[in-house]
Structure 1
Amino acid sequence: MQFLLNPFLTGAALVLLMSAGLQGCSPQTGDAETETETTGSGSGTSVGSGTIAETGTIAETGTSAGQKDLNRTTREGVVVEFSTRPTSDGVEKVMAADWADITFRITDASTGQPIEGRYPAAWMDLSEAWEAKGDKPMSCKDRVSTYLQGIVGIRPMIDLNSNFLLVMNADASISVIDPVVGITGITNLFAQINLEQAGADWDKTRDQRTLFVSMPHANQVALVDTETFKVVMNIDAGDRPTRAKLQDDERYLWVGNNATRAEQSGVTIIDAIDRKKLAFINTGEGHHEIAFSDDNRYTFVSNRNSGTVTVIDVQTLKTVKDLETGPVPISLAFSTLGKALYVADGKDGTITVVDAASLEIRSRIKVKPGLGPMRFSQNGRWGIVVNPFEDEVYVIDASKDQLMHTITMGKQPYQVNFTRSFGYIRSLGTQDVGLIPLSELDEVTTPVVSYIPAGQNPPGAAAKISIADAMVPSLKQAAAYIVNQADGTIHYYMEGMAAPMGAFRNYGHQARAIDIVDRSLGEFSPGVYTGRVKIPVAGQYDVAFMMDTPRFLHCFSAEVVPNPELEDTTAKMGVEYQVGNRYVTVGTETTIKFRLTDTRTGDSARDIPDVTVLYYRSDGRDRTVARARALPDGGYEATVKLNKSATYYLFVGTRSRKVSYTDLPFFSLIAMPAATGEKTTASQTGSGS
């Protein structure tokens, strides 16, 4: 099944759209029945750069060159001020193909005080793109309604609420999934990142722009740009790079080398800024886990076969000492509250506590042999370590260095993660996920564990289990995404429910791990909500803004000028796929119709002689190019033949118009056996994904 709701926009947003009193507004005009004040480009602000007045109002700085345009609206006692600002030094206006801060400042109209803790939604799209969709322009309300419905083909150019799921696959790929827009209820695939070899672990920068993926069989780490979802480069990372951890200040990426030869086993340090291998330190044999002190002074590297934990000085990149914590140090976790490293030993069943200041062992907590992964809660107090051999988990209080609870859990618990309220425990022998309430861990009695189903089969039935997380907490809600490796499904669970609220499949791939890339607005100072985006093309943009308290929609306006360093940064072309049924019959010829438009004029781009369609399977195989034929009505059609039962992706391009296959939205078809497939007909309009 597909998601029945947008997990990142709450139900209140949908109620907002259906509210009888809701008033839409046309671009650049206010609602006649609502108090609206709009300030044009005559005022500016430097939100995010230190020029906000202490009074709580935005500092008015006149009309000097280089200041960003400001729009303002007042509704029901709430003032919303919209602004754009280029992030590059010395740049006066927001330019295409450059980064900009999109900011909404929300204040109380009577007091001027910031309004905190809201979750506004916003979208940006070219004004011309909407005018081109019909004789009657869509209202602000209509646009937001289509965005929230997740209609395929109706997407803004910039979504300031979007979050993408990254699914690491067993093959050499990463699926990028849009959890909002569904494709016929089968998949939500937005893009696919192709790697040199299968990934083992990953980590990303705080700004969400860069993802590092270790590839043991390539002896490299892939650097992925999460704006384009493409591999920028592959960095040499020693022999069999596996565990990958970015230190908290993001200066270095540390990669554990699980080499078979002792002299090549250790940790590789990659300069995350210069993007190159900096050093290798031979630490010991076996698998390596990595942790950091909270001041970024020390890196701790476990050596499973050597029975040691190596302490490395981050400044000098030299070994300080080797700690003998037990025969098989299997997992590491650092507690910011306890100011200590906790080392779980799989053989002797002890948890060794290493003081971060003295680097000496300050205590040992005895549990049972068979320990596995360990992690601390977000506040650093509660540590949970799993024991798959005993079907137990152990709760450690870092404020006391004591064992607080022993909890019977599932069948072969093997992974742990946290939201603010719960510890999530994944087990190999059951599809059920255990939830431990953190609020009960301070009690003497054993906390009551609740279980939620996440799939039909136990994850242990999968051929491969990744060391990367199979569970990830949602960014702004009490919720989590959970991968079932055996079923190939991803489940969305909202806390308080008896079961996941939805699930979708990762067709064509076996899912191993999951992470989230955040593209949404964040409250970076009281009442100031900002998102940093790269605006792809020049033009006049309509910015749809939505709040649920008070309930209203408003459309602001923003101008993006062409980038003089680029040949042309206006959107050359748009595509509308005219396909009524995405299911096609394997091995039969299928006609795909589509229409190309000049986004600057809204006119059809007719009779282009070299339009082609590239299509291939979701795993990247069977790449085929078909030539498109111009139709009398100004559209185009191409004949494709899908020879395997799989999901296929289609891309349109034309060399004469300098439009590559990656410049336009893609389309998907699902090839099925003859008994269930149907020939595709051109009866419904959509535009990509």
Structure 2
Amino acid sequence: MKAVHKGLALLLPFGLAFGAGLLLFDSRPPATAQTAAPGEKAGNRLVRDGIAVEFAVQPVDGAEPTEGMFADLRFRLSDAASGQPLAGQVPGAWLDLATGNDDPQTACRSRIGLYLKGLPGVRPLLDLTSYYLLILNQDPSITVVDPLTSVGGVTSMFTRIPLRRPPMDWVASPAERRLYVSMPEAGEVAVIDAERFQVLASIPAGRQPVRLALQPDGRFLWVGNDAPGEAGSGVTVIDTRTLKPVLQTDTGRGHHEIAFSADSRHAFVTSREAGTLTVFDVATLERIREIRSGPHPLGVALSPLSGAVYVSDGEAGTLSVIDAVSLETRKTIPVGRGIGPLAFAPDGRYGFVLNTADNTATVIDAASDEVLHRLEVAAEPYQIVFTRAFAYVRGLASPKVSMIDLASLGKGREPSVLGFEAGPAAPRLAGNLPLASSLAPAGDDAALFVVNPVDNTTYFYMEGMNAPMSGYLNRGHTARAATVVPRSLRELEPGLFGARVRLPAAGRLDVAFLLNQPQIAHCFALEVRADPDRQRQRTRLQVEYLVDGHGAVAGAPFTLRLRLLKGGEEPQTGVADLRVRYFRAPSAQPREVAAREVGEGIYEASVELAQAGAYYLHLGAASLGLKFGDLPYLGLRARPAGGQ
């Protein structure tokens, strides 16, 4: 355990949107966009099958939509006759350059179908059915990744968020608009705008702020302070509206885990060394009860189904069941020494208690407070997350991730436990692990991201596969944990769906909109102003790939030849650090090679195309401020040796 960071040891006893299939559209032509009301742009309102769809865009910084700037996209759905909002829908939207087709709506429906199929190389400029992947780094930073491009190696990271000190834990607000990150060395919590990916504030949060927990209603952020002595060991409560602390109080020595009642009325705080569970009245922020739940409480979780709080004690080997209203202990369930992390499936029916000593997960039925199953899982289990269908358990001493089929649980049943390996080695070999989870369910609720800190790679696993499909290598940083921030449309109020986006390009864009029931597919038009600074950047450097149309032969030597031009005319000479990054689609790990100048503005690089398939090649040069993906990429097909 010496190699494991203190943050991880706190958890262990005794120191231990849319499917991918092509949507079938009906053959009826779309209804004509309605005449605009006063002040409304023509073409921004569509009526079809009794449903009205109104599209609007509001720039965040500026008077008109501008490339590279943020804007709020809004779709209002209502009954065309009565005007009543159409709530509870799950629309999708995509932004891409307009096609200029003579029949734009037919072309629009075809493009949406291709987007839904997820074909390599067929991507819109912006996909609002997706999400961002955030990587918590060992250094004071967070890496933001666009999985649609970066995990496949097409481009580099989306952006990086610098922090004041190394992070330990994080939690997102209910609407995912903010991300809170604890920084124990700074004694602060960073508040990050999860739409702009910028630090909004750093809030003083007491001594050694470690664990973060946000109330279900989002009103207060609770911070566990793991001060070494009794003084300062407790919780700090931060008002999420004012971003100021409203309470700092001691609860007892040791690490603190935090849970809440479903109505946010009560907060429950464990103190590991003190052996207590402190209960707070959230309305008054006063402590109302101190419960002796065992000598070393390690985990705490609420089941909304049973209306009880469950506390695991690693030394006693018991699970205390405490009524969330009366605050009386209902039952004490013997589970076994060595238990620690505790979590309930989303519906609150089944609770999982991990035992790092005997490599098991004990399943509790909240309906009866009885032990249903003891399941063998990955060695030294220490983390658990859920999708709709599975519980995923991470082992500290194994690269394996165990999968427990939630539908297979129940009294008298034999649960299905599967698994896959995420990386080459056990996480414990990396050391310096935070409290934040290395497991992150993906946006479609049937996939998972897994960070392996040993090879610094975040793996992407889809349910039904035998192994992860792809991975993101976190170059320049050391990955420790992951989470997902959706960038899909949210229902902001009944019938109003929206998202804040960075406008990806200048010119006329198609905003493709899709609704399944009733079936509506339509492209709205959006004019985006060019940013003069970006235009000047584009005119400063251009690339011509000097490649014939015959492609390459897999396994044979291939020399990439290209020309760099300034302003489209003058050769760009003397770029000593020009590099080529390339990968084989759809998800091979990217490789990099240096390019050398062989003529005036002409460069060559030797690339190894070992296997047949489609390759994508990008250019980068730090001396020019040129990032991979800034210039157009080259698509190159390597055909099999002796093939056509």
Distance, in Å, in 2 between the alignment partners of 1:407 and 1:214 is 33
Matched, 1:533 2:500: yes
Instruction: Find 1:71's aligned residue among 45, 65, 78.
Output: 45
Q: CA deviation at 1:511?
A: 1.8
Partner of 1:294: 262
Alignment of 1:354-503 (within 5 A): 354-503=322-471
Amino acid aligned to 1:485: P
Q: CA deviation at 1:293?
A: 1.1
Distance, in Å, in 2 between the alignment partners of 1:328 and 1:359 is 19
Matched, 1:578 2:546: no
SS in 1 for 2:428: helix
SS in 2 for 1:273: coil
Contact 2:43 2:524 in 1 (8 A): no
SS in 1 for 2:575: strand
Partner of 2:95: 124
Q: CA deviation at 1:454?
A: 1.9
Amino acid aligned to 1:11: A
Where do 5+ consecutive residues of structure 2 fail to align? 1-16, 547-559, 583-589, 597-603, 608-616, 621-627, 634-644
Contact 1:539 1:570 in 2 (8 A): no
Matched, 1:258 2:226: yes
Amino acid aligned to 2:192: V
Distance 1:673 1:559, change over 3 A: closer
Contact 1:41 1:68 in 2 (8 A): yes
Distance 1:546 1:402, change over 3 A: same
Alignment of 1:258-337 (within 5 A): 258-337=226-305
Amino acid aligned to 1:70: N
Alignment of 1:337-348 (within 5 A): 337-348=305-316
Partner of 1:203: 171
Amino acid aligned to 2:32: T
Q: CA deviation at 1:462?
A: 1.8
1:592-634 Cα offsets, whole Å, 9 max, x none, are: 9878xxxxxxxxxxxxxxxxxxxxxxxxxxxxxxxxxx44627
Matched, 1:220 2:188: yes
Matched, 1:249 2:217: yes
SS in 2 for 1:189: coil
Contact 1:592 1:682 in 2 (8 A): no
Q: CA deviation at 1:384?
A: 0.1
Amino acid aligned to 2:453: Q
Distance 1:455 1:380, change over 3 A: same
Matched, 1:36 2:3: no
Contact 1:187 1:504 in 2 (8 A): no
Distance, in Å, in 2 between the alignment partners of 1:199 and 1:592 is 43
1:620-677 Cα offsets, whole Å, 9 max, x none, are: xxxxxxxxxx44627967836389x999xxxxxxxxxxxxxxxxxxxxx976589998
Q: CA deviation at 1:84?
A: 2.2
Q: CA deviation at 1:427?
A: 0.9
Distance, in Å, in 2 between the alignment partners of 1:373 and 1:685 is 42
Distance, in Å, in 1 between the alignment partners of 2:563 and 2:163 is 32
Q: CA deviation at 1:561?
A: 9.8
Q: CA deviation at 1:260?
A: 1.3
Partner of 1:11: 20
Q: CA deviation at 1:211?
A: 0.7
Contact 1:578 1:686 in 2 (8 A): no
Amino acid aligned to 1:35: P
Contact 2:384 2:391 in 1 (8 A): yes
Distance 1:538 1:511, change over 3 A: closer
Q: CA deviation at 1:303?
A: 0.7
Matched, 1:639 2:575: yes
Distance 1:389 1:545, change over 3 A: same
Amino acid aligned to 1:122: A
Partner of 1:81: 53
Distance, in Å, in 2 between the alignment partners of 1:637 and 1:277 is 56
Identity across matched positions, percent: 34
Q: CA deviation at 1:120?
A: 4.8
Alignment of 1:26-175 (within 5 A): 34-42=28-36, 63-65=37-39, 70-72=44-46, 81-84=53-56, 100-103=72-75, 105=77, 120-124=91-95, 140=108, 149=119, 151=121, 156=125, 158-175=126-143
Distance, in Å, in 1 between the alignment partners of 2:432 and 2:233 is 23
Contact 2:255 2:271 in 1 (8 A): yes
Contact 1:67 1:85 in 2 (8 A): no
Distance, in Å, in 1 between the alignment partners of 2:248 and 2:492 is 38
Partner of 2:5: none
Instruction: Figure out how many residues of one structure are paired with residues of the other and give that number.
Output: 563
Partner of 1:555: 523
Distance, in Å, in 2 between the alignment partners of 1:541 and 1:189 is 24
Contact 2:354 2:381 in 1 (8 A): yes
Partner of 1:618: none
Distance, in Å, in 1 between the alignment partners of 2:542 and 2:426 is 40
Distance 1:161 1:681, change over 3 A: closer
Q: CA deviation at 1:483?
A: 1.9
Q: CA deviation at 1:41?
A: 4.2
Q: Report which stretch shifted further, 571-580 or 373-382.
A: 571-580
Q: CA deviation at 1:281?
A: 0.9
Partner of 1:651: none
Distance 1:403 1:213, change over 3 A: same
Report the RMSD for the aligned CA atoms in angstroms. 4.5
Give the structure-1-normalised TM-score. Answer: 0.70
Q: CA deviation at 1:385?
A: 0.7
Amino acid aligned to 1:324: R
Q: CA deviation at 1:279?
A: 2.1
Distance, in Å, in 2 between the alignment partners of 1:225 and 1:80 is 32
SS in 2 for 1:447: coil
Where do 5+ consecutive residues of structure 1 fail to align? 1-7, 24-32, 43-62, 563-567, 582-589, 596-629, 648-668
Alignment of 1:583-594 (within 5 A): none
